[in-house]
A and B are shown apart, each in its own frame.
Chain A
């Protein structure tokens, strides 16, 4: 079984400032890792994923996440946020089956 811990429930940040959302996982086997984003009153959308290969993965809107096996982490970062990045972000993990385990979520509020 696997589990996910998102270390911050709320992250307020000013526009154009950097942001980091922390995610740690536990699993006894190899894992696949994901970040999903949920904008207000919408369903979840895939932001980025790590399956294998390069430990640094990027999304089309400037987010990146780095898989660190020794620290069992998959932190999400963006060097400069926009108002439109206000959303809830979920880290998720699976170990080679159909089911994702989600973290509790981190709410990012971007202020002008």
Chain B
């Protein structure tokens, strides 16, 4: 029962390098999200998706791109990494809108990214 799996768990990049974080969920959830967590700032939404083939911007989308080519996968890309993108990244998924009352976000274990 894997739930939400994020890879890689740790990564160190140099400024200007690119990379992709992969989020995979095996719960057939429609909605997927990428958050970043920084000390004293809680979680901030980067991008989200309401279904296969759709993506939308969250609070802090600049410097990131996403794709949802398959329902179970949500990729977060950094085209040219910057030190300000050093953070812990969390993927989450849910099967309903919050308003339905049944929504529960299931989170992955996180990916720690350091940009030097």
Residues of A within 8 A of B (CB): 4, 6, 9, 32, 36, 41-46, 51-52, 90, 94, 96-105
Residues of B within 8 A of A (CB): 4, 31, 33, 35, 40-45, 48, 50, 58, 90, 92, 94, 97-99, 101, 104-105, 107-110
- Complex interface: chain A residues within 8 A of B4 (CB): 43
Measured in the bound complex, the distance between the Cα atoms of B25 and A19 in whole Å is: 35
Q: Which of A36, A94, A98 has the most CB of B within 10 A?
A: A98
The answer to whether A46 touches B42, judged by C-beta atoms less than 8 angstroms apart, is no
Of the residues B31, B94, B105, contact of A44 by C-beta under 8 Å: B105
- Complex interface: chain B residues within 8 A of A44 (CB): 43, 90, 92, 105, 107
Measured in the bound complex, the distance between the Cα atoms of B102 and A52 in whole Å is: 12
Measured in the bound complex, the distance between the Cα atoms of B101 and A64 in whole Å is: 18
Q: How far is the CB of A82 from chain B (nearest CB, A)?
A: 23
- Complex interface: chain A residues within 8 A of B101 (CB): 51-52
Q: A42-B109, A43-B109, A43-B110 are in contact. Are A99 and B42 (CB under 8 A)?
A: no
Q: How far is the CB of A3 from chain B (nearest CB, A)?
A: 11
Measured in the bound complex, the distance between the Cα atoms of B94 and A46 in whole Å is: 12
Q: A46-B104, A104-B41 are in contact. Are A99 and B48 (CB under 8 A)?
A: yes
- Complex interface: chain B residues within 8 A of A100 (CB): 45, 98, 105
The answer to whether B105 touches A97, judged by C-beta atoms less than 8 angstroms apart, is no
Looking across the interface, which residue of chain B has its beta carbon closest to that of A106? B42
Measured in the bound complex, the distance between the Cα atoms of B90 and A52 in whole Å is: 28
Measured in the bound complex, the distance between the Cα atoms of B31 and A110 in whole Å is: 35
The answer to whether B98 touches A96, judged by C-beta atoms less than 8 angstroms apart, is yes
Looking across the interface, which residue of chain B has its beta carbon closest to that of A52? B101
The answer to whether B99 touches A103, judged by C-beta atoms less than 8 angstroms apart, is no
Measured in the bound complex, the distance between the Cα atoms of B31 and A26 in whole Å is: 25
The answer to whether B97 touches A97, judged by C-beta atoms less than 8 angstroms apart, is yes
- Complex interface: chain A residues within 8 A of B41 (CB): 104
Measured in the bound complex, the distance between the Cα atoms of B97 and A96 in whole Å is: 8
Q: How far is the CB of A35 from chain B (nearest CB, A)?
A: 12
Q: A43-B4, A97-B98 are in contact. Are A102 and B58 (CB under 8 A)?
A: no
